[in-house]
Chain A
Amino acid sequence: MLVALMVYALTGGADYGGGMWDLLAAGDRASRQREAIAEAIAPVWEANHVWLVLVIVLLFTAFPPGFSVIMIALHIPITAMLLGIVLRGSAFVFRKYDSTQDVVQRRWSTVFGVASFFTPFFQGLTLGALTTGDIRVAGDRVTTGFFAGWLTPFALTCGLFALALFAFLAATYLTVDTQKQPDLQNDFRRRAIWAQATLVPLAVIVFITSKYGAPLMYHGLTNWWAPIMLLWTGLSAMTATAAIWLRRFRLARIAAVIEVTLVLLGWGLAQFPHLVAPDVTIQNSAAPESTLRILLVALGVGAVVLLPSLVYLFQVFKGQEQR
């Protein structure tokens, strides 16, 4: 059980990373005409994208029955998200590597931008749907069909929330990346503030709809730890906003990262111990212990190899801009 819990923390961690990095790519939509964004994203997007793959494989290795339930019940939104991923990824490279500047290239940009909206929306929607408690499972079967959960107001707001969150994060990052071009930096500063301004009411709406749309989550959010979480999240959000306002972009970036991490952590804690509320939990869908143990070892070894490489990657590309 303890092992299962640790694996959860690790998959969760990867999950947050996945969310945070995906946004990096989602952000370019904010101002897709600008080369600056493409340059900031190009070297790292493949690596960022892999987080998502990692989350999925860890999910199906560690919680096979849970994975199976999620994939049956949320077939439609997940397929939609996949289409978004395919179009976005390929449109991005096509635009990047097509050497001729013409109409075709502008079309890639459009595809890329639209798909960048599409994908995080469905990601938020999917995560929200897992929380609603509308997806019911009896034995091995999903009993509530293929439309349960993800069409509720709560899930839809979660989708919008994810969009705003990623937009905010990306804009904040880009203010740091565009340090050498003050006019661009100003644009992104304004965008970040706007995104943050939509984010706050959306967060409130998510909270309110959760009372009816996701009772378990609402319950979780009114737990003893919730005020502390909310306080910290609020604090980091305010710091981020203030830092952007005062043009302390480096600080804003850090605060934004903390804000997003806390939001996801809060979601994870409120959801715990459910994988698909309320029938599938971490415990009842975990893979056999032998698998989890080896998986944990693999995760450890993987982390030892990957983290330094990742740091190196970001150093090579982001380091020089900061100096």
Chain B
Amino acid sequence: MSDLFFARSQMGMSLAFHIVFAVIGMAMPLLMVISEGRFLRTKEPIFLELSKRWAAGTAILFAVGAVSGTVLSFELGLLWPGFMRYAGGIIGMPFSLEGFAFFTEAIFLGIYLYAWNRVSPVLHWFAGIVVAASGILSAVFVVLANAWMNAPAGFDIVNGHPVNIRPIAAMLNPAALHETIHMVLAAYAATAFLVAGIHAFFLLRDPQSVFHRASCSVALIVACVSIPLQILSGDFAAREVAKLEPPKLAAMEAHYQTGSGVPLLIGGIPDTATGKVHYAIEIPFGLSLLVGDNPATKVVGLEDFPRDQWPNVGLVHWSFDIMVGAGFAMLAVAAWTICTWWRTRRLPDNKWLLRALVCCAPLGFIAVETGWFVTELGRQPWIIYGLMRTSAAVTPMPGLVVPFATFTSVYLLLAVIVIFLLRRQFMETHPRRIKRTALKESATTSATEKPNS
């Protein structure tokens, strides 16, 4: 186990941890704003209550996202000083802008969370909109930096050094468009399905709950709009990857031999030594169709690249398939939801649909994580595609296993605590529980609950 391995593990772990909170911190404000907007229009207090509850949960998640994001900004330098020395001047731009966007987000989140009674309702709602918008912006800027690593642009290389740097061109690199769209939609879809699933779970237990019905409906609107768009954007992203990073696409599809009329392989066990994939489901001409809309399209396979420039095919392929599988499962449930709504004009009462929604709750986040694996592991061994190897960027610091172990255990602990706290929050919204805690709390502290009618 080398220090490079631990550096990669620590970075990967930190990103995988942060992305969950970042995604929720970005999408939850949209849900809160929709709900509060409904309240402003209909004056139904249930939607206000809902916004407040969501806001309380978001505050916890946002804070963890903020600190883990701070850690990441340091880790870029702590673990990859070689990369930052080379690329800091080129892609520092989006990071700085992200800093500003995040700043705006933090300021208005402060207002949103703590000023329910201090500013007018419309102004408060507006603060929520600013939070949601700057959340998108921060995500876009960070993903722009990542897109640059996949498709470096905006500079010339003279004697191995980047010169003639054009930061704007670097930001608007060829991978920028598809990566940002795919990430933003992913955040909405994943969070919306998670929220819908959680409230569906409570609806199953207590079908009369107006609160959970309202919550579920708001989340489902976002879920049903974002998932079909996300599938389309995924198709667009795959085509772009085929153009920009053929080895990544080849690894995603476990595609070894260059050729035309290539089948699409689902699952299977890629055998890198022989270049064969065992036990996969084969869709004839599938990959050629996907890449070029034509069964005869030629798709470059891994064999065209030097062996030491291959990513880990098994990991990338399986991550990709899991992501796609999760995406289509969510699409199916979204279609089912829309059909039900179309027929009955009422929110899901159907037990089986609610159960399906519960099952979908974690899928979005599984897709987010595996999708991130695809883009990061699929780029290896490069940290900047085609220019700098990850091994050349790592810090000379020895003993990296220590910070890796420390941060991993701290993050694990945080994850456990967050789940514990959120569970407490959710339990409080459950009517039976409310009665019980209300009894308890009336004697001791201020009870903020209002029993749901």
B92→A60 contact, CB < 8 A: yes
A298→B97 contact, CB < 8 A: yes
Distance in angstroms between the alpha carbons of A86 and B67 in the assembled complex: 5
| Residue in A71, A290, A291 whose beta carbon sits within 8 Å of that of B395 in the complex | A71
Which residues does chain A contribute within 8 Å of B258, judged by CB atoms? Answer: none
| Residue in A57, A71, A313 whose beta carbon sits within 8 Å of that of B96 in the complex | A57
CB distance from A311 to the nearest CB of B (A): 10
| Residue in B89, B104, B407, B425 whose beta carbon sits within 8 Å of that of A287 in the complex | B89
Closest A residue, CB atoms, query B169 = A290
| Residue in B107, B168, B397 whose beta carbon sits within 8 Å of that of A310 in the complex | B107
CB distance from A119 to the nearest CB of B (A): 11
Could you mark each residue 409-448 of chain B with 1 if its beta carbon is under 8 Å from any beta carbon of chain A, else 0? 0100010010001001100100000000000000011001
Which residues does chain B contribute within 8 Å of A69, judged by CB atoms? Answer: 81
CB distance from B390 to the nearest CB of A (A): 16
B89→A47 contact, CB < 8 A: no
Which residues does chain B contribute within 8 Å of A78, judged by CB atoms? Answer: 74, 78
B56 at the interface (CB under 8 A from A): yes
A72→B397 contact, CB < 8 A: yes
Which residues does chain A contribute within 8 Å of B95, judged by CB atoms? Answer: 57, 60-61
Could you mark each residue 121-147 of chain A with 1 if its beta carbon is under 8 Å from any beta carbon of chain B, else 0? 000000000000000000011100010
Distance in angstroms between the alpha carbons of A68 and B428 in the assembled complex: 48
B115 at the interface (CB under 8 A from A): yes
CB distance from B260 to the nearest CB of A (A): 43
Q: A64-B87, A287-B92 are in contact. Are A46 and B110 (CB under 8 A)?
A: yes
A61→B92 contact, CB < 8 A: yes
Interface residues of A in 74-100 (CB under 8 A from B): 75, 78-79, 82-83, 85-87, 89-90, 92-94, 96-100
B84→A64 contact, CB < 8 A: yes
**Chain A residues bordering chain B, tally (CB within 8 A):** 66
B59 at the interface (CB under 8 A from A): yes
Distance in angstroms between the alpha carbons of A68 and B63 in the assembled complex: 27
| Residue in A53, A85, A140, A317 whose beta carbon sits within 8 Å of that of B85 in the complex | A140
Distance in angstroms between the alpha carbons of A287 and B56 in the assembled complex: 41
Closest A residue, CB atoms, query B113 = A43
CB distance from B351 to the nearest CB of A (A): 32
Contact size range, B: 35 or more
A316→B92 contact, CB < 8 A: no
Q: A97-B421, A294-B168, A316-B111 are in contact. Are A71 and B74 (CB under 8 A)?
A: yes
A62 at the interface (CB under 8 A from B): yes
CB distance from B325 to the nearest CB of A (A): 33
Segment among B36-44, B159-167, B249-257 that sits at the interface with chain A: B159-167
Segment among A168-176, A184-192, A231-239, A301-309 that sits at the interface with chain B: A301-309
Closest B residue, CB atoms, query A285 = B85
A54 at the interface (CB under 8 A from B): yes
Q: A67-B88, A291-B167, A298-B96 are in contact. Are A56 and B107 (CB under 8 A)?
A: no
A58 at the interface (CB under 8 A from B): yes
Binding site for A on B (CB under 8 A): 56, 59-60, 62-64, 66-71, 73-74, 76-78, 81-82, 84-90, 92-93, 95-100, 102-104, 106-111, 113-115, 118-119, 163-168, 395-397, 403, 406-407, 410, 414, 417, 421, 424-425, 428, 444-445, 448
Known: A75-B397, A288-B89. 10 other contacts (CB 8 A): A50-B102, A61-B89, A61-B96, A64-B85, A64-B89, A97-B421, A287-B88, A295-B96, A312-B111, A313-B111
